[in-house]
Structure 1
Amino acid sequence: MELELLDPRNDFLFKRIFGSEENRDVLLAFLNRTFTEAGQPPLSEILLLNPYTDKDSPTDKQSILDVRARTTEGELINVEMQLFNRYDMEKRTLFYWSKQYGSQLVEGQSYDTLKRCVTINILNFSLLPNKLYHSVFHLREDRTGIELTGDIEIHFLELPKLEERTVDLQEGGLANWLLFLKGVDHNQWEVLTMNEPKLKKAMNTLEFLSQDKQLRMEYEARQKFLHDQASMMNAAKNAEAFGFKHGMQQGIQEGIQQGIEQGIEQGIQRGIENTARRLLKMGLNIDEVAEATGLTNEQVQHLQTAP
């Protein structure tokens, strides 16, 4: 009976394959393929800043399931697998990039000690309005292309945009790694690894982990957690849309009495607040409700405690 392989796009499993000390060479090979395709020199070595440990619980919201590394030059790299669209991905990416960038400074240090920070988002959904599976962003002047600073670099690797028939599998490269993550047919694995020897180690790791009964249970728990979280986020978006529409209607009615403009504004706000209260009752935490509705954490906390 053929072994049923687990899905490496599961962020818990992704970190086991790419974020463990014993597979640091696998991560280095993947990063070098990513940077080479972007026209940058390869790295010689990396240091894992948050290697996988048994404390990385698949259902603990506090577990950090992205992969963080530092180069020999002190540059920081963050790799994150996103199985479902969490919405506002662009702003979320900038927010976490800025936290990583700013965390380098301690009191008394000058700004010139800040090192380049690279964010690599691997997405199981299409995000950007282009046909590229690999998009790279920097900070440059619009007309001349002059780079303001090289410290910001953001990659989006969109798996749905990668089509197997358009790739020369024997050539090797980043596409082969992404096809492995995407779930290319097991019969194609040997071709994928012809010029990607470290990819073979990633595949062997996946096969080994897929035979671990305890890990399968943790994997299934993580899959359920991710699906539940995606369902709640979709419900939040739908509820927000309903609240917006309801708020518009109520606001127009009140606007007859108090002025159309003011009434619409109040109605929209009331609808959003009602949506926030419903999401809190559904079990979402303050951060998730704030992200879904656009309210501040303080506003959500007030709604939670208000009678």
Structure 2
Amino acid sequence: MRVGKWGESMKEQRFIITESMMDSLYGYNNAQYDQHAKRLLASRKLLAEIVKKVVPEFHDVSTTDIAEKYIEGAPQVGNIPVNPGLTNAVPSQIKGDRNEDGAPKEGYITYDILFHARAPGTGEPITLIINVEAQRTQVESTLGYHLMKRAVFYVCRLISSQKEREFEGKDYNSIKKVYSIWICMDSPSGNSYINYYKLEEKHLLHRYKEAAENYDLPNIVVISLGKKADKDKLIHLLQVLFNERKRSFDSKKEVLEQEYGIDMTPDMEKEMTTMCNLSLNISEEAMNEGRVLGREEGRVLGREEGLKEGENRALSRTAIRLLTMGLSVDDVAKGTGLSVEAVEKMKENME
């Protein structure tokens, strides 16, 4: 497929946004969209749906009880630093309503959503991490690292940062169990899946069985959303909220209310409305970019031999624009028809 093609009687460039690029545009590298998505996901009702599905301690508990009885305090959104030496500097109680707007200028990484939950029947606090990544991809070449290794780092920090925060000195018996739950808006296999990672005991010589509660502390859950509709209740909910771009706000609200019994609060409606509007504005801006630039260049040059030059210049300007919006070199090359080498050169010149 050749993009940016000029028809015999046309003077308007047809710039094509690929599906991969649209996935990137909807929230990828957009701090404003990301922040609204995190605040929506931090609602107790949505967290209860996630916790019930992926945290074993809550499998037999109703989502209503999870939301109203077991989630303690107000979930923190973008407030608690991940970095060593900073997590413990925050007051010992993670509870509260000190939600701030995150920004790329911040000099440290924060957990997207962090809250305490009380295990049913025991009263034992379980620290849960709900982490939402706005880049919508697990592709290592795009991220610059393997997402699973980042998840391991986060869950280790959730354990180590408890010292002088959840327990003092050598009171290691007070270490709390943690869950780091990652919701990914794409899937390496193309299909939706939920994976669970935890420590397990293996006997290499003779047999001695350690009590599971002494080592079953760090837990990672990865929820990946595929392109196809899925019958799984949690996957369907997350796809409706974050991946179904053509579904209107009213339709999403209807799904939450009729299929999940979730009555949207005014705050939830505000966040979801803003997300829908941001998605529409971002996509329209990108799709119009090539058409507008193509017309401008065609009018200025006005010669048959100038049409090709105008096309190339328009595509180059479009590529630069898309790079500044955070798209990867590969996605920009696919969308504009330019070579990967040419786009890489543009990116180097921008730095």
RMSD: 4.5
TM-score, reference length from structure 2:
0.49
Q: 1:74 corresponds to which letter in structure 2?
A: P
CA apart distance, 1:156? 0.4
- Partner Cα separation in structure 2 for residue 77 and residue 100 of structure 1: 9
CA drift of 1:102 comes to 0.8
1:84 is matched with which residue? 137
Match of 2:178 among 101, 117, 120: 117
Output one character per residue of 1:29-48: Cα deviation in whole Å (capped at 9) or x when no partner: 44334437994656322334
Structure 1 residues 17, 225: CA separation in 2 closer, same or farther (over 3 Å shift)? Answer: farther
1:95 corresponds, among 149, 153, 166, to 153
Q: Is the 8 A contact 2:137 2:187 kept in 1?
A: no
Give the stretch that moved more between structures: 179-188 or 62-71.
179-188
Counterpart in the other structure of 1:135: 195
Given that 1:121 and 1:155 are in contact with CA atoms closer than 8 Å, whether structure 2 keeps it comes out as yes
Residue 134 of structure 1, CA deviation: 1.0
Kindly provide the amino acid, as one letter, of the partner of residue 140 in structure 1. E
What residue in structure 1 maps to residue 220 of structure 2? 154
Deviation string, structure 1 residues 46-80 (Cα, Å, up to 9, x no partner)? 33452466742343344636101111332211111
Q: Establish whether residue 14 from structure 1 lines up as the match of residue 11 from structure 2.
A: no
The answer to whether the 8 A contact 1:15-1:65 is kept is: no
Shift in alpha-carbon separation, 1:150–1:63, aligned structure 2, 3 A: closer
* Pair 1:46-2:112 in alignment: no
Partners in 1 of 2:191 and 2:57 — Cα distance?
A: 16
Give the counterpart letter for 1:47 in structure 2: G
Separation in structure 1 between the aligned mates of residue 160 and residue 273 of structure 2, nearest angstrom: 38
Instruction: Using the TM superposition, give the Cα deviation of residue 194 of structure 1 relative to its aligned residue in structure 2, in angstroms.
Output: 2.0
C-alpha distance 8-195 of structure 1, shift in aligned 2 (>3 A):
farther
How far 1:121 sits from its partner (Å)?
A: 0.5
Q: Against the structure 1 CA distance between its residues 49 and 41, is the aligned structure 2 distance closer, same or farther, given a 3 Å change threshold?
A: same
Check whether the contact 2:155–2:219 (CA below 8 A) recurs between aligned residues.
Answer: no
Measure, in 1, the Cα distance between the counterparts of 2:263 and 2:27.
Answer: 13
* CA-to-aligned-CA distance 1:143-177 (integer Å, 9 cap, x gap): 8999573212111010126x31x417xxxx31232
Rg larger in 1 or in 2? 2
SS in 1 for 2:163: coil
Q: 1:194 & 1:99 partners in 2: Cα distance?
A: 39
Give me the whole-angstrom Cα distance separating, in 2, the residues matched to 1:132 and 1:101. Answer: 29
The SS at the match of 1:92 is helix
Query: In structure 1, how many angstroms separate the alpha carbons of the residues matched to 2:225 and 2:125?
Result: 29
Label 1:7 to 1:131 Cα distance change in 2 as closer, same or farther (>3 A).
closer
Kindly tell me: are residues 111 and 280 of structure 1, through their superposed partners in 2, closer, same or farther at Cα, counting changes over 3 Å?
farther
Question: 1:69 — aligned with what?
Answer: 115
Alignment CA distance shift 1:38-1:282 (3 Å):
farther
State the alpha-carbon separation in 1 of the partners of residues 272 and 153 from structure 2. 35
Q: 1:177 aligns with which of 217, 220, 237?
A: 237
Number of residue pairs matched? 217
Q: Say which SS state the counterpart of residue 76 (structure 2) adopts.
A: coil
Distance (Å, rounded) in 1 between the aligned partners of 2:182 and 2:218? 14
1:257-285 deviations in Å (ceiling 9; x for gaps): xxxxxxxxxxxxxxxxxxxxxx99986xx
- Opposite residue 146 of structure 2, the aligned amino acid is D
In the alignment, structure 1 residue 204 sits paired with structure 2 residue 252 = no
Query: In the TM superposition, what are the counterparts of 1:15-34 in structure 2 within 5 Å?
Result: 15-19=38-42, 23-34=43-54
Matched, 1:59 2:104: yes
1:115 shift after superposition: 0.5
Q: What amino acid sits opposite 1:209 in the alignment? A: T
Structure 1's unaligned 5+ residue stretches are 1-5, 235-278, 284-307
Question: Cα distance, 1:90 vs. partner?
Answer: 1.4
1:203-235 superposed Cα distances (whole Å, 9 cap, x missing partner)? 62444435889xx89xx9xxx99953x64899x
**Taking every aligned residue pair, what percent have the same amino acid on both sides?**
19
